[in-house]
Amino acid sequence: MEVIIQKTVESAASLVANLIARELRAKPALVLGLATGRTMERVYRHLARMHSGDSLDFSRCRTFNLDEYVGLSATHPGSYHHYMNKHLFTHVNIRRRNTHLPDGTADDLAAECARYEALIRKCGGIDIQLLGIGSDGHIGFNEPLSSLRSRTREKALTVSTLRQNAAMFGGDPDKVPRRAITMGVGTILEAKRCVLLATGRDKARILAKAVEGPITSMISASAIQLHPHCTVVVDEAAASGLRGVEYYRWIFENEPEWQEFRQKKLRRSRHERA
């Protein structure tokens, strides 16, 4: 795992978007695992800008979202189908048939979960999985005590998640569906690469536990420590609970993969000073 600390929320989101853009240019039929939540909105804004400004091509890209609420139709404003259309799909040239989210309205939810897993396999697995982190440490909707080997399945949401996600439901936690379909922790860990983005002081405590604490099913995000290729991108505020900050900065400065990003940053700060 590596941890990249960026000065601002915006530069953290921009780095993640640039990383995705680089992979997409290298592999136009990229299989991209997508996440939702406020943190990701900035990433999708950057990607949409790169599509219109730099002709970033999504025409062969395939996507799989982490999760969806049970019982919400694709047009419900609180659904993740709606979120993805609003923040990404309608802004880029992705083919709608190449975008996949679990169907929370399926009659047989267990069969829907199995179908979703099979479809990911049929596409050759996920190349890059984007991840956010919930205030209770969840990735996807893998709430505390989710097995670290779990697969796509239905889960009950915790009270803290209902509160965290209430904004999309008029601020009322009682309106948030109590159940969701989510990729399992085991499913997520099979992605070839994971990129977790966390920003803001509210995430500092849980992020430090996930990155530097013991691996535990109580904090499903801690499972990323088991992943052979995971990049955690944070802003200074989210990094404020980490103990290894100096070490992480040193690695970032010396890692060849990030050279072009460091140069971009240098150009940006020269431009700002001029």
Would you call 67 a catalytic residue per the annotation? yes
Instruction: Tell me if 133 contacts ligand GLP by CB under 6 A.
Output: yes
Nearer to ligand GLP, 36 or 98 (CB): 36
Paired strand residues for 234: 5, 198
CA distances from 110 to 74, 117, 139, 177 (A): 19, 11, 20, 18
5 membership: H or E segment, kind and range: strand 2-6
Nearest CA among 238, 146, 228, 128 for reference residue 185 = 146
| Closest CB 239 distance from ligand GLP, rounded Å | 16
Dihedral sign from CA coordinates of 109, 111, 112, 114: positive
Interacting span for ligand GLP (CB under 6 A) from 4-12, 51-59, 96-104, 128-136: 128-136
Site for ligand GLP in 29-48 (CB under 6 A): 35-39
Nearest CA among 184, 57, 189, 63 for reference residue 119 = 63
| Closest CB 96 distance from ligand GLP, rounded Å | 22
- Dihedral, 33, 36, 40, 42 alpha carbons, nearest 10: 120
- From 117, 127, 143, 235, active-site residue: 143
Instruction: Tell me if 101 contacts ligand GLP by CB under 6 A.
Output: no
Size of the site for ligand GLP (CB under 6 A): 14
Nearer to ligand GLP, 157 or 258 (CB): 157
Which is it for strands 67-69 and 179-182: parallel, antiparallel or unpaired?
Answer: antiparallel
Q: Give me the residue label for tokens 């159940």.
A: 179
Nearer to ligand GLP, 63 or 258 (CB): 63
Site for ligand GLP in 46-75 (CB under 6 A): 66-67
DSSP labels for 126-155? -SEEEE---TTS-STT--TT--TT--SEEE
Nearer to ligand GLP, 202 or 257 (CB): 202
- From 100, 138, 227, 235, active-site residue: 138
Nearer to ligand GLP, 134 or 186 (CB): 134
Instruction: Tell me if 161 contacts ligand GLP by CB under 6 A.
Output: yes
Query: Using the rule CB under 6 A, which residue among 165, 187, 220, 231 binds ligand GLP?
Result: 165
Tokens, residue 152: 């796509």
Q: Which amino acid is at 242?
A: L
Would you call 136 a catalytic residue per the annotation? yes
- Residue 29 phi/psi, 5° resolution? -95, 35
- Terminal Cα-to-Cα distance of the chain (whole angstroms): 36
- From 103, 112, 127, 136, active-site residue: 136
Instruction: Tell me if 132 contacts ligand GLP by CB under 6 A.
Output: yes
Instruction: Tell me if 104 contacts ligand GLP by CB under 6 A.
Output: no
- From 67, 68, 112, 235, active-site residue: 67
Would you call 138 a catalytic residue per the annotation? yes
Residues of this chain that bind ligand GLP (CB under 6 A): 35-39, 66-67, 132-134, 140-141, 161, 165
Known catalytic residues? 67, 136, 138, 143
